[in-house]
């Protein structure tokens, strides 16, 4: 199971290729879908594959198999299908596909949707176009070369007559589906690269977009839940007398821990006629919990222990060159230790799902990132085959990695089975905050040195954090070699390098949080580099250029060039070196993650205990950008989340339970803290499209910390920053 985790958590291409075969249900990169998968053609409809459907009136539906949570994938990928199909986007309706293998991998995480699905979905569109063109050619008795498709119609070059797509549906649906349709050249793109609006904005602004928590079915009951507050704890006693006496209460249901990585922590739920009654009744329950072995988890002490674990020799996971000797001969040596906190995803829509379990079928409507994971988990819980669980993928009101795990869906299924009715379960914000799957808290220690010529010659990097692997295998008590590969493969290419793993036993559930381990790797490496440049008396921009220029590792050549590219672009955008008002500073960071490259320059002001981010300039290389406006929005969102985790948020545990509960004590960023200006520029568009949902997050916090140092001379090494005036 660990390999599965590494596939999502790590970012190097090599590791990605290695693990994707496990993590994506056997479909490796370059997903190959049989384009004629449906096989069964219905009269009067053209449905050449899972993604394309054209009716006789020309109305076109394009299905999106990847889950939508605000990242815009249900616009970007279907627009690419429409492009190849030569469909008129104005006549296209996008529908979200249910859980189904015909859509290819649907587990939506790791910034892989475009990376994995662009080519197969373009082929799906191109196959449709080719069949429509062939149908027109047959109708006219012309060779296909004389015919071409353009905006929902096929034309011929002989007399420029046209046949609308709708008119061709019947004949096209009798033709064989081509296996290798011809894709457009880049200069033929109609929608790819254009800032098309999201397909559903019109619905959102009138309140008609249906999220997982909005689904209604006849006879639906509503549920509220309280979980055991400590991971591994159990229910000791329950008095439900008062709740059962309340009008409108359908039942009080004990949900035992379901021992599955995506299973319920265990808790007690009330099912009622509406959410309010369920919450009120929940409040009357008298519950005693037995905390179990994690009952003494305390993050203040735990992080101190992690620091001790990285400030002493630890398990060596990777080594090259002769580090000890290099350190002995160093001209300058520097060390730093960096600490990060647990984070909660806190999407605005808390965990929510509707389940309807019946004798002969089970139907689920859920905000989710992993519908197939729901089929497996709920199937295992109910003792049914995964394919017998129907999962309708609903719009997720934010997810950020949390809705990859489907504990809340399994709970809804447990409740539906218990009360014999469809049950809509919505977690309270408090449950969402207190019983999630958290981003790892972490400690990292870096020591590096410069040789006599001023080159960075040696680098020691120790990291200790509870690994996501621990959620799947409790014997995992420290980062694995796979977890640390991104440090080992970091494109600095330092000749003498050692990477070590420190002990960090998990005491809560650890999950994927947007950008995952790249958050703390990007932080430690970039802040340390800024410190090292300062120690060396160098400008950070020039210092980074020199590091990249001194990397002669042929395997890292492309990474180095692309890091260098975004670095130069961001510096140019921000006017690196410009004179700023007193109290302000610029900070720089570069990070390569999820196969993409991001550099950021943050302009920040420090005034007493107050830190203001005025402006952020982002240069991004994620290859060909499908939709520049949505891509820009992803970066803007990453900047906001980056400021949030740098300045505001951290989850704390005391006596095994989360201390935070709601937005007053988990103060995610608000509009008054948002920068006045976020500029985003994309370069490197000749490369293949790569991930974008996550790579923007890791650079913000270090760039901000470096800007604070430039502005005030104060160096912060722990997140969130505890400002001392």
Q: Which residues bind other proteins (CB under 8 A)?
A: 69-72, 195, 197-198, 200-202, 204-211, 213-214, 216, 222, 274-277, 279, 346-350, 395-400, 426, 428-429, 629-630, 633, 636-641, 662-664, 668-672, 674-678
Largest CA distance in the chain: 83
* Residue 576 beta carbon to other proteins: minimum distance, rounded to whole angstroms: 22
Closer residue to other proteins, CB minimum distance, 503 or 674 = 674
> What dihedral do alpha carbons 380, 382, 386, 389 form, nearest 10°?
-150
Closer residue to other proteins, CB minimum distance, 487 or 631 = 631
CA distance 599 to 695: 10
* Residue 613 beta carbon to other proteins: minimum distance, rounded to whole angstroms: 12
Residue labelled with tokens 């050619």: 137
Closer residue to other proteins, CB minimum distance, 45 or 662 = 662
CA angle at residue 700 from 695 to 703, to 5 degrees?
A: 130
Closer residue to other proteins, CB minimum distance, 311 or 629 = 629
* Residue 641 beta carbon to other proteins: minimum distance, rounded to whole angstroms: 6
Q: Which helix (H) or strand (E) holds 715?
A: none
Closer residue to other proteins, CB minimum distance, 126 or 700 = 700
* Residue 270 beta carbon to other proteins: minimum distance, rounded to whole angstroms: 14
* Residue 631 beta carbon to other proteins: minimum distance, rounded to whole angstroms: 11
* Residue 207 beta carbon to other proteins: minimum distance, rounded to whole angstroms: 2
Helix (H, G, I), strand (E, B) or coil at 95: strand
* Residue 244 beta carbon to other proteins: minimum distance, rounded to whole angstroms: 17
Closer residue to other proteins, CB minimum distance, 128 or 422 = 422
DSSP per position, 611-641: EEEEEEEEEEE-SS-S-HHHHHHHHHHHHHH
Closer residue to other proteins, CB minimum distance, 700 or 707 = 700
CA distance 376 to 370: 10
| Number of Cβ atoms within 10 Å of the Cβ of 140 | 16
Q: Which residues contact 298 (CB under 8 A, 6 or more apart)?
A: 653, 654, 655
* Residue 628 beta carbon to other proteins: minimum distance, rounded to whole angstroms: 11
* Residue 312 beta carbon to other proteins: minimum distance, rounded to whole angstroms: 38
Closer residue to other proteins, CB minimum distance, 314 or 669 = 669
DSSP per position, 29-80: SS----TTTT--PPTTEE--SSSEEEETT--EEEEE-SPPSSS-HHHHHHHH
How distant, in Å, are the alpha carbons of 141, 520, 539, 586, 669 from that of 703?
A: 64, 13, 14, 8, 17
| Number of Cβ atoms within 10 Å of the Cβ of 372 | 21
Closer residue to other proteins, CB minimum distance, 7 or 397 = 397
Closer residue to other proteins, CB minimum distance, 216 or 358 = 216
Closer residue to other proteins, CB minimum distance, 198 or 507 = 198
- Torsion-angle region of 583 (φ positive above 0: left; ψ -120 to 50: alpha; else: beta): left
* Residue 78 beta carbon to other proteins: minimum distance, rounded to whole angstroms: 16
CA distance 24 to 512: 16
Q: Which residues contact 510 (CB under 8 A, 6 or more apart)?
A: 437, 438, 439, 440, 466, 467, 468, 470, 471
Give me the phi and psi of 237, to 5 degrees please: -150, 155
* Residue 395 beta carbon to other proteins: minimum distance, rounded to whole angstroms: 7
CA angle at residue 170 from 165 to 176, to 5 degrees?
A: 95
Closer residue to other proteins, CB minimum distance, 128 or 675 = 675
CA distance 127 to 85: 8
Per the structure block, which two tokens stand in for 665? Answer: 């004590």
Closer residue to other proteins, CB minimum distance, 69 or 378 = 69
- Bridge partners of 227? 267
Closer residue to other proteins, CB minimum distance, 113 or 213 = 213
* Residue 301 beta carbon to other proteins: minimum distance, rounded to whole angstroms: 29
CA distance 200 to 214: 16
Q: Which residues contact 103 (CB under 8 A, 6 or more apart)?
A: 50, 51, 63, 65, 66, 97
Q: 115 near 691, Cβ under 8 Å?
A: yes
* Residue 616 beta carbon to other proteins: minimum distance, rounded to whole angstroms: 10
* Residue 281 beta carbon to other proteins: minimum distance, rounded to whole angstroms: 12
Q: 80 near 94, Cβ under 8 Å?
A: no
* Residue 202 beta carbon to other proteins: minimum distance, rounded to whole angstroms: 6
Q: 580 near 680, Cβ under 8 Å?
A: no
Q: 452 near 326, Cβ under 8 Å?
A: no
Closer residue to other proteins, CB minimum distance, 240 or 345 = 345
* Residue 90 beta carbon to other proteins: minimum distance, rounded to whole angstroms: 15
Nearest one of 618, 628, 526 to 572, comparing CA atoms: 618
Q: Which helix (H) or strand (E) holds 84?
A: helix 73-85
Closer residue to other proteins, CB minimum distance, 292 or 667 = 667
Q: Which helix (H) or strand (E) holds 324?
A: helix 323-328
Closer residue to other proteins, CB minimum distance, 95 or 312 = 95
Per the structure block, which two tokens stand in for 577? Answer: 């070196």
* Residue 204 beta carbon to other proteins: minimum distance, rounded to whole angstroms: 4
3-state class percentages of the chain: helix first, strand second, coil last, to nearest 5: 35, 25, 40
Residues recorded for the chain:
725
Nearest one of 640, 621, 597, 629 to 683, comparing CA atoms: 621
Per the structure block, which two tokens stand in for 682? Answer: 């994309």
- Bridge partners of 156? 147
Cis peptide preceding 720, ω within 30 of 0 = yes
Closer residue to other proteins, CB minimum distance, 201 or 241 = 201
Nearest one of 402, 365, 457 to 98, comparing CA atoms: 365
CA distance 168 to 164: 7
* Residue 60 beta carbon to other proteins: minimum distance, rounded to whole angstroms: 22
């Amino acid at each position: 199971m660990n390999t599965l985790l590494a596939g999502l958590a790590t970012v190097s291409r090599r590791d990605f290729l290695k693990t994707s075969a496990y993590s994506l249900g056997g479909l490796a990169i370059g997903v190959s879908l049989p384009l004629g998968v449906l096989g069964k053609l219905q009269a009067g409809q053209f449905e050449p594959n899972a993604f394309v459907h054209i009716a006789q009136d020309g109305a076109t539906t394009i299905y999106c198999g990847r889950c939508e949570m605000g990242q815009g994938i249900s616009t970007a990928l279907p627009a690419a299908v429409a492009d190849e199909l030569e469909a008129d986007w104005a006549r296209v309706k996008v529908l979200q596909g249910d859980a189904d293998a015909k859509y290819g991998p649907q587990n939506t995480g790791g910034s892989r949707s475009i990376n994995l699905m662009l080519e197969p979905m373009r082929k799906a569109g191109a196959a449709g176009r080719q069949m429509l063109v062939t149908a027109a050619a047959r109708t006219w008795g012309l060779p296909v070369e004389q015919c071409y498709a353009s905006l929902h119609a096929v034309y011929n070059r002989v007399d420029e007559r046209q046949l609308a797509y709708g008119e061709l549906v019947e004949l096209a649906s009798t033709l064989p589906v081509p296996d290798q349709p011809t894709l457009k050249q880049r200069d033929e793109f109609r929608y790819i690269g254009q800032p098309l609006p999201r397909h559903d904005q019109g619905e959102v602004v009138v309140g008609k977009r249906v999220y997982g928590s909005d689904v209604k079915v006849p006879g639906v009951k509503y549920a509220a839940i309280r979980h055991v507050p400590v991971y591994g704890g159990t229910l000791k006693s329950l008095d439900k007398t008062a709740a059962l006496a309340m009008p409108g209460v359908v039942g009080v249901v004990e949900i035992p821990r379901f021992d599955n990585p995506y299973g319920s922590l265990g808790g007690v739920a009330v099912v009622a006629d509406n959410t309010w009654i369920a919450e009120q009744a929940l409040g009357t329950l008298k519950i005693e919990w037995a905390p179990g072995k994690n009952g003494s988890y305390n993050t203040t002490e735990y992080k101190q222990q992690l620091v001790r674990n990285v400030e002493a020799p630890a398990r060596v996971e990777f080594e090259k060159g002769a580090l000890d000797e290099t350190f002995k001969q160093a001209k300058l040596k520097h060390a730093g230790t960096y600490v990060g906190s647990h984070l909660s995803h806190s999407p605005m829509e808390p965990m929510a799902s509707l389940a309807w379990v019946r004798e002969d079928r089970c139907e689920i409507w859920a905000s989710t990132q992993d519908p197939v994971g729901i089929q497996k988990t709920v199937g295992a819980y109910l003792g049914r085959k995964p394919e017998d669980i129907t999962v309708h993928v609903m719009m997720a009101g934010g997810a950020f990695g949390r809705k990859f795990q489907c504990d809340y869906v399994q709970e809804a299924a447990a409740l539906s089975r218990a009360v014999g009715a469809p049950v809509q379960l919505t977690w309270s914000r408090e449950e969402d905050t207190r019983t999630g799957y958290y981003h790892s808290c972490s400690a990292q220690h870096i020591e590096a040195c410069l040789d006599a010529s001023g080159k960075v010659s040696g680098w020691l990097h120790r990291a200790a954090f509870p690994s996501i692997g621990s959620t799947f295998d409790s014997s995992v008590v420290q980062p694995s070699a796979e977890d640390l590969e991104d440090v080992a493969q970091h494109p600095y290419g330092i000749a003498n390098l050692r990477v070590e793993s420190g002990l960090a036993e998990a005491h809560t559930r650890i999950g994927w949080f947007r950008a995952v381990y790249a958050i703390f790797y990007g932080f430690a490496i970039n802040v340390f580099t800024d410190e090292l440049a300062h120690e060396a008396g160098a400008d950070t921009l020039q210092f980074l250029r020199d590091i990249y220029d001194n990397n002669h590792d042929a395997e890292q050549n492309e990474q180095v060039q692309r890091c260098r590219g975004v670095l130069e672009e961001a510096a140019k955008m921000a006017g690196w070196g410009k004179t700023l008002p007193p109290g302000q500073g610029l900070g720089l960071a570069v990070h390569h993650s999820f196969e993409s490259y991001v550099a950021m320059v943050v302009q920040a002001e420090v005034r007493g205990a107050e830190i203001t981010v005025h402006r952020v300039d982002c240069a991004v290389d994620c290859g060909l950008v499908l939709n520049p406006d949505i891509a820009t929005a992803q970066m803007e969102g990453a900047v906001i989340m980056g400021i949030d985790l740098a300045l505001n948020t951290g989850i704390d545990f005391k006596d095994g339970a989360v201390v935070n509960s709601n937005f007053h004590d988990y103060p995610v960023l608000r509009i008054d803290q948002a920068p006045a200006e976020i500029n985003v520029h994309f370069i490197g568009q000749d490369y293949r499209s790569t991930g974008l949902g996550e790579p923007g997050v890791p650079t913000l916090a270090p760039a901000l910390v470096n800007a604070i140092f430039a502005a005030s001379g104060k160096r912060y090494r722990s997140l969130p920053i505890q400002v001392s005036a």
